[in-house]
A and B are shown apart, each in its own frame.
Chain A
């Protein structure tokens, strides 16, 4: 079946540091790929998405590129802020259902 593996956390960075959270997936066909973010006490929110190979999703300074050859969708941000502290989930959607990674907790210190 489909699966998503993402970088284990927690990740702690200083403000303005570069962020990478790795995500790889296993799925047949051509799934859509997503990053969601969850702030404490809230549900998940869509951060960015990509629907086909080589697409780049971007939002709020975050980027991720759909790499079919490496089955990856790594999340990056050039300069993180304290307000980016949250849990980040990589996910794929195929056949009417989504599959989520286990989440990576990011803490950004001033």
Chain B
């Protein structure tokens, strides 16, 4: 257990509203990631962070922004939610070592109506 929590776990919001998802870790890992999971697409990387205030885009970053002001928190913001952003969002950390395996949070199910 890498001590990763996500909040909220479920959210329903309306098109056009901003939404922020939070990922919190307790073990000071440097690398953190946000993914979305959709049927038929596996996991797709949205943004990732390699340290406080150091972030970079993944393959599906349009419409999303992130912030990391503390090591333990990584926030994902949907600036103006659209129905295509209905998905399950997973946060992950990467454990430094010989392989950098990832450990995942429990996920947030977001529905945009």
Contact A100 B42 (CB under 8 A): yes
Residue of A nearest to B98 (CB): A51
Contact with B along A24-56 (1 / 0, CB 8 A): 000000001010100000111110010100000
Contact B31 A43 (CB under 8 A): no
Contact B90 A34 (CB under 8 A): no
- What residues of A have a CB within 8 angstroms of the CB of B102 in the complex? 34, 36, 44, 46, 91, 93, 98
- What residues of A have a CB within 8 angstroms of the CB of B60 in the complex? none
A97-B101 contact, Cβ under 8 Å, with A43-B106, A44-B90? no
- What residues of A have a CB within 8 angstroms of the CB of B41 in the complex? 102
Chain B's interface size range is 20 to 34
Q: How many A-B residue pairs have CB under 8 A?
A: 60
For A89, give its contact among B40, B42, B48, B100 (CB under 8 Å): B42
For A96, give its contact among B50, B99, B104 (CB under 8 Å): B50
- What residues of A have a CB within 8 angstroms of the CB of B58 in the complex? 97
A51 to B100, CA, bound (A): 10
A40 to B65, CA, bound (A): 28
- What residues of B have a CB within 8 angstroms of the CB of A44 in the complex? 43, 90, 92, 102, 104
Nearest CB on A from B95, distance (A): 9
- What residues of A have a CB within 8 angstroms of the CB of B64 in the complex? none
Contact A102 B42 (CB under 8 A): yes
- What residues of A have a CB within 8 angstroms of the CB of B43 in the complex? 44, 89, 100
Contact B100 A43 (CB under 8 A): no
- Which of B41, B94, B99, B106 lies at the interface centre, i.e. has the most chain A CB atoms within 10 A of its CB? B99
**Sampled A-B contacts (10; CB under 8 Å):** A43-B106, A43-B107, A44-B43, A46-B101, A46-B102, A89-B42, A96-B31, A97-B33, A97-B58, A101-B42
